[in-house]
Amino acid sequence: MSALEVTKSTAGGVMRTLGFSPSASAAAASAVGGIAASVAAQLVWTPVDVISQRLMVQGSVSERQASAYACSKHGHMSPTYKGGLDAFRCIVRTDGWRGLYRGFGLSIVTYAPSSALWWASYSLTQRIVWGSLGYRQDVAGECPLSMPSSSLVVGVQGLSAACAGGAAALVTTPLDTIKTRLQVENDQLTTRETVLRLVKEGGWRACYRGLGPRWAMMAMSAVTMITTYEFLKRSSKKSF
């Protein structure tokens, strides 16, 4: 969130200096801030995601695949990891530190555009909803100039977050499916080869497996996240 706010503030100022309209400046600044926040987050979460994915699939893969996932100190392959720390050590020992960042590039390709789309959609949806309710917004497009009730603010922000989450789900579902395949399979396939295998198994619809639940999950988590985030931001402004 720190990366988001700093980048959004800087980008918004630059866009307004270049003569862009308030709505375009707000949307563009939100998109750029979202990308910066996504890159910062993936530096931390990709290793965690790789380890968790390996631990989740080891109980459901075949003995041959499971043996390929782990290793022992003696150099031979072990069928399962003993836990997160053991998985971390084995991945670093067999694949190096790069193994912890397997899928990092695809994670950026997946989540950076998604984050940019999410925050831009959130900004634009808020502007549309507030405009339809007869409220004018500030230059940054973040809040009405004439402050409505707290319940209305939360409602508009929640609705905007749900719409933004749905839009992001359409983009991220196929990319996340491919990323997960890359992380859990041990065949050292390229991204292109992984896509071809996935399409061969179930056609292009296979890339959108779980879209409905993912849409619902992203919408609900977005509403929870953004209402809390906006509340804390308003509270911090009052404090200072």
- Does the pLDDT value for residue 195 go beyond 70? yes
Residue-wise pLDDT tens digits, 5-26: 777 778 777 777 887 777 777 7
CA distance readout (Å), 35 to 104, 108, 157 = 14, 9, 21
CB 17 within 8 A of CB 47: no
- Mean pLDDT over residues 113-142, rounded? 79
What is the reported pTM?
0.60
- What pLDDT score was predicted for residue 1? 62
Of the candidate ranges 51-60, 65-74, 175-184, 211-220, the one whose mean pLDDT is the lowest:
65-74
For residue 64, pLDDT beyond 50: no
Sign of CA dihedral 202, 104, 44, 168: negative
Percent of the chain residues past pLDDT 70, beyond the cut:
81
Contact 121, 163 (CB under 8 A): yes
- Nearest residue to 32 via CA among 10, 60, 61: 10
pLDDT of residue 2: 66
Helix (H) or strand (E) holding 115: helix 104-132
Which structure tokens are listed for 13? 């100022």
Measured between alpha carbons, how far is residue 174 from residues 31, 193, 195, 202 in Å? 21, 15, 10, 13
Helix, strand, coil share of the chain (percent; to 5): 75, 0, 20
> Is the confidence at residue 209, as pLDDT, over 60?
yes
Q: Which residues contact 45 (CB under 8 A, 6 or more apart)?
A: 107
Strand partners, 137: 144
Structure tokens at 205: 């619809």
Amino acid letter for position 60: S
Q: Are 39 and 112 in contact (CB under 8 A)?
A: yes
| pLDDT tens figures, 212-237 | 888 888 888 888 888 888 888 777 76
Whether the CB-CB separation of 157 and 222 falls below 8 Å is answered with no
The C-alpha R_g of the chain, in whole angstroms, comes to 21
DSSP state of 190: -
